[in-house]
Amino acid sequence: MNLFRLLILGLLAWFVYRMLRSWSSDGGAGRPRPRNPQDYEMMARCLRCGVFVPRDVLSERGRCRSCEKTP
C-alpha cells in the first residue's frame, strides 16, 4: 500500500509541476516563442543539387557555391 501512495504522490507532484510551468510568464521551455517574419532569410533551391540555401548565396544560374565550382 505504501508503494501505491508513493506513486500517487509522484503523479500529483508531476501534475503540479506541469501546471506551474504552463502558467509561467515565458510559457515554459517546451513552447516556442513566435518570431518576427523579418528575422528569416528567403530560401531558394539550387537548380543542380536541390539543396535549399539563402537566395543571396545562389549564382546567376541558380546554383549554390559547391555546384558552381563543378563543371
**Which of 41, 24, 42 has the alpha carbon at shortest distance from 33?**
24
Residue 6 has a pLDDT of: 93
- What is the reported pTM? 0.46
| Cβ atoms < 10 Å from Cβ of 46 | 20
Q: What is the mean pLDDT of residues 30-49?
A: 82
- For residues 2-24, average pLDDT: 89
Instruction: State the average pLDDT for the chain.
Output: 85
- The residue ranges of every structural domain in the chain are 2-29+42-69
- What's the rounded mean pLDDT across residues 30-39? 73
Residue indicated by cell numbers 565550382: 69
pLDDT value for 14: 94
